[in-house]
Amino acid sequence: MRTPHIAVLGAGYAGLATAQLLAKRIGATVTLVNNRDRFVERMRNHQLASGRQLRHLPLHDLLRGSRIRLIIGQVTRIDTRERQVELAGGVPPIDYDLLVYALGSRADTDAVPGAAQHACSVAVAEQAGRLRDQMRTAGTVAVVGAGPTGLETATELAETYPDRTVRLVSRGPLGEGLSEQGREHLHRALDRLGIQVWQNADVAKVDADGLLLASGDHIDADAVAWTAGFKVPELAREAGLAVDERGRMVVDGTLRSQSHLEVYGVGDAAAAHTQDGQVLRMGCGPGGLAAACAFHAITARLAGRAPVPLRVKNDALCISLGRRDGILQPTDLDGNPRGKVRTGLPVAMLKNFVLQVTGRYIPRYPDLVVAGARQG
């Protein structure tokens, strides 16, 4: 059988690792399409927003010496009948035998009026940079969303700018997914950093001077950081691929599309199911597991073997609370807390180690993804 041409859409954590593994291990011809010419350490965008300098990682440098053809462009359409990917700007379409869909997600700033105009999405590096610039003069910043990204953003900003007012707005109760001990530690950390908290607060509108809540109350803010909700590209739905209610591609335990057998989905844009039927959560860690599983499934099928489906026994939330504190909460796959929670400086050091590995080493040494998946 001839070596297939594989197109990988998206060069985030999961897409870049999958492309590198396929090109290296099986000698496949791989075309990697990304909308920018550098790798973005998305897990560190909250640090970028606080003014910390991040590494500059050009994709051409990371892929030098590989068999990967890199195309910088915006995907506009996937033609599953002709097996082609269409790009903006008159770039010729890309043919494929196998397609890996790894286009990720972004913050859903369209769900609330004014958010797209007046808030900075921490999920996007350029907007995190814009928030950094705003923080030079802003006296008050409101962080909308109290998931892991929101907590990390609020605490990083409060620690970096102790003379500013940081306000954290959560749609639900604070510390969802944490045990009672974890929630208590979180509240102590937020109090220590002087962060003002609004719980069970729905944001109805974002304007130039803050947030209007559904209750009618107004929260003043010179800058707004948006970390609430997510949105995936509509390309999978528009291409006729099976998607869930959020538009994420529905894939089986081998990360293969349930409607198109030549398509695989990894990362935030795919809803991957474990052996117990649980949907793998979004994030860098699960994305690495998905990349390793998709790589093994593709190589197994090309060799005429039955692939091993994704197996995940447990999960954990590792949340930094500034540079010297954090929470490590073991969870079930459905998100319920379990086991003993760890807190303090050791967790902050662990999270920094994870960030260093995923940003400095995995883009250059994708075999670490496979090794990590085996350990998990």
Whether residue 302 contacts residue 254, with contact meaning beta carbons closer than 8 Å, is answered with no
What's residue 58's pLDDT?
Answer: 94
pTM: 0.91
Mean pLDDT by 10 residues, the chain (376 residues): 86 91 85 95 92 89 91 97 95 95 90 95 93 96 95 97 97 92 97 97 96 97 94 95 94 93 94 72 70 90 89 83 95 81 96 83 68 49
Q: What is the pLDDT of residue 106?
A: 87
Closest to 214 measured CA to CA, from 246, 169, 165, 173: 169
What are the distances in angstroms from CA 279 to CA 10, 138, 286, 360? 21, 40, 10, 29
CB atoms within 10 A of CB 166: 26
Longest Cα pair distance anywhere in the chain, in angstroms? Answer: 65
Please give the pLDDT value at position 283. 64
What pLDDT, on the 0 to 100 scale, is given for residue 277? Answer: 67
Whole-number pLDDT of residue 374: 52
Contacts of 113 (CB under 8 A, 6+ apart): 204, 205, 206
CA distance 227 to 42: 13
Q: Given this model, what pLDDT does residue 108 score?
A: 87
Q: Are 253 and 273 in contact (CB under 8 A)?
A: yes
Residue 368: its pLDDT value, please? 64
CA-based torsion, 35, 41, 46, 50: positive or negative: negative
Residue 341 has a pLDDT of 95
